[in-house]
Amino acid sequence: MLISVALTSGGLLLWPVLAGGARAGSVTPAEAVQLINREKAVVIDVGEPNEFAAGHVMGARNLPFGQLEDKLAGLVKNKTTPVIMVCPVGARAARAAGLARKLGFEQARSVAGGLRAWRDASLPVEKA
């Protein structure tokens, strides 16, 4: 019984570390705002043009996920610039951030929860 309690408590202590590793490439909407304001991060919406037109983060540039590999270097010249990927729910943005890191953009991140989380945080959204 004592061993199972020790193992359970050890697992619970390790959980935040392991969960944080899965979230390492994402930021909350508040963290994204800080990156935009303090480090001049570039916001890229990886949704399709119709999704972008329906609503996007203010100042974001639209680059659909399918075109990311070919056009990202042309859109963001300096690979050390923080890049924040956004999509409606965050799944494509997370994949896009991973792809951007593979392309050499070390500070590529995605907004956890996507545009939905951005709106839930009462942050500004504009329509095209």
The residues that are catalytic are 87
Q: What is the 3-state secondary structure (H, E, C) of the chain?
A: CHHHHHHHHHHHHHHHHHHHHHCCCEECHHHHHHHHHHHCCEEEECCCHHHHHHCEECCCEECCHHHHHHHHHHHCCCCCCCEEEECCCCHHHHHHHHHHHHCCCCCEEEECCHHHHHHHCCCCEECC
Structure tokens, 125: 């959204």
